[in-house]
Chains A and B, each alone.
Chain A
Amino acid sequence: MNSKPRIGRGNILRLLPYLSVAAFFLGWQLLVETGIIPRVLLATPLEVGKLFFVKLTQAQPDGSLLWVHTVVSLGEALLGYLLALVVGIPLGLLMGWFVLAEGLARPLFEMIRPIPPVAWIPLAIFWFGIGLSGKVFIIWACAVIPCVINAYTGVRMTNPTLVQMARTYGATDWQVFTRICIPSALPMVFGGLQIALALAWTTLVAAELIASDVGLGFLINMGRRLLRPDMIVLGMLMVGLTGWFIGAVIDWLERKLTAGLERGGSSS
């Protein structure tokens, strides 16, 4: 097909991503290796990789194995996140359909909504200390907001034709809510889950940076205190990878659960 041998346009496009990633790591390695960036400021990718394997079996110098840090962070994040789902989604759904729920919850919600998640950290530490409960509270406070907003918007965006039809067939308020509003809100709810998760993970890392004795944020912070850039970069990589991984799991769950439903509108 292609008259030019081997390197056609399509091939370049296909190879370019790998080349650029390879060039990125090579450049990084060389910049540190040649001393253009001093070693106290940045570690080479090879050092980071080496530290990853060392930290799998060795608790020094920060007190815990790598997987302990990861599991503790994940556990805190997921616990707060699940509590936020359990409270936020039903609340948002009810607020979308029942005037009573909306009237009572809306003002409180609007008061809490503009507070940036990290601003909860001092209060949570003050109330609950630096242990598990403080972290769970912070994550709950920041993850509950997108859950409520998206569940609420999802119910509000229910196609009115469907509601009218159900009413014509004599459905009660509650039946319309459970049979029509909730299923049609599901895609939006899942959009909210994604946003909440990203928020929860970011906020958790911030909380661990400020006060904790175990967790990935703590690992990053210890790296700074001990002047070990390889530890900082390892911590950042683990945070990124874990965040990406849970995002992928939610994505997969969404596709399983809402198969056949179309995502109604977009949640910018």
Chain B
Amino acid sequence: MEQSESIAGCGIQMETGPALEKREGAWAAVRGLLRNRYCLYGLSVIGFLLIWYWAALYSSISRFMPTPDQVFNEMVRIAGHKLAGKTLVGHLWASLRRVLIGFGIGVALGVPLGLIMAINKYINAAVKPIFDLFKPMPPIAWISLAILWFGIGEQSKVFIIAIGAFVPALINSYNGIRLVDPALYDAVRMLGGNRRQELYQVTFPAAFPAIFAGFQIALSMAWGSVLAAELVGARSGMGYIIILGMKVFKPELIIGGMIIIALVAGFLTLSLNYLEKKVCPWKRELT
């Protein structure tokens, strides 16, 4: 705080000072710094941390606000110590396992159904209206019914995640096929392709980037759904950690958990982006 005040004071002195050239030189330097993106990034992060420290130490909400180093210490502590019978890695794995199973089920059901609906208009006419009934319902709204049906164990969570992943997987594969450029079909027909070749050589490869984008949405939905399911009722997982922090009045545990959750989410997104470049290099960049 003191430092920034003295800098501000300095600036005012320079402005009112007599040395015109010196002032302009200093201004140009400041302007240059303000144009430099990386310098601004640094300023922003430092400012954020300073405000956080100030809020945690001096403001009226300081009781509810841990300092950054308290959060860091808490993260180190839960990494080493057991929390409700599991280490941090154990909780992380509990969440990820649910996500992977639910995501697998949701995608395995959603993609084929979407493809069939896009290819066959009779199936589309029969299934689409029912799907449209369920589509606007958030996956989390299923949670009570899921707990009623499957109990509070793993199955109900996997069910929620599967629903969360199913909807975007289906929508994207359906739209992906319907939005294939018709000129591609004309081309393959002109080259003498039959219906089978049309499907395997044109439809699926052309729709694949959209389907893969559906995977990305489905995975982030799955990660959000698992947290929601664990917040409502669980004894393990990252969602349980942050709700535990709320119950035992430990804000550093909540924020530490949120940081880990955000890191995992970022990691999942990045790895899917990387995978996308590997498996469908023909994807056109959006203009």
B57: CB under 8 A from chain A? Answer: no
Secondary structure at chain B's binding surface: helix, strand, loop or mixed?
A: helix
Total residues of chain B contacting the partner, CB 8 A: 65
Most buried by A among B44, B140, B258: B140
CB nearest neighbor in A for B179:
A266
The answer to whether B245 and A205 have CB atoms under 8 Å apart is no
Q: Give the nearest-CB partner of A216 in chain B.
A: B141
Instruction: Kindly provide the distance from the CB of B68 to the nearest chain A CB, expressed in whole angstroms.
Output: 12
Q: Which residue of B lies closest to A123 (CB)?
A: B254
Taken together as a complex, chains A and B put the C-alpha atoms of A224 and B243 apart, in Å, by 20
B254 CB contact (under 8 Å) in A100, A112, A122, A233:
A122
Question: Provided the pairs A17-B125, A17-B126, A125-B246 are in contact, do residues A118 and B41 lie with their beta carbons within 8 angstroms?
Answer: no
Range of interface residues on A (Cβ < 8 Å)? 35 or more
A196 at the interface (CB under 8 A from B): no
Any A CB within 8 A of the CB of B29 = no
> Contact mask B129-154 → A, CB, 8 Å, 1/0?
11001101111111111011100000
> Does A220 have its Cβ within 8 Å of any Cβ on chain B?
yes
The distance from the CB of B166 to the nearest CB of chain A, in whole angstroms, is: 15
A7 located at the interface, meaning its Cβ lies under 8 Å from any Cβ of chain B in the complex? no
Q: Does A31 contact B (CB under 8 A)?
A: no
Nearest A residue (CB) for B251: A126
* Chain A residue nearest in CB terms to B138: A202
Chain-A contact segment, one of B86-94, B107-115, B224-232 = B224-232
Measured CA separation A125–B254 after assembly (Å): 11
Q: CA A205 – CA B143 in complex, angstroms?
A: 11
Q: Jot down 12 A-B pairs with beta carbons below 8 A, ordered by A.
A: A16-B126, A41-B149, A42-B145, A107-B44, A111-B262, A114-B265, A121-B231, A209-B140, A224-B144, A236-B141, A236-B145, A243-B137
Q: CB within 8 Å of A: which residues of B?
A: 34-37, 39-41, 43-45, 47-48, 61, 64, 121-122, 125-130, 133-134, 136-145, 147-149, 210, 213, 220, 223-224, 227-228, 231-232, 239, 242-243, 245-246, 249, 251, 254-255, 257-258, 261-263, 265-266, 269, 286-287
Task: Taking A108-B48, A217-B141 as given, write out 9 further A-B residue pairs in contact, using a Cβ cutoff of 8 Å, ordered by the A residue number.
Answer: A114-B269, A116-B261, A123-B246, A126-B251, A205-B140, A206-B138, A229-B148, A268-B210, A268-B213
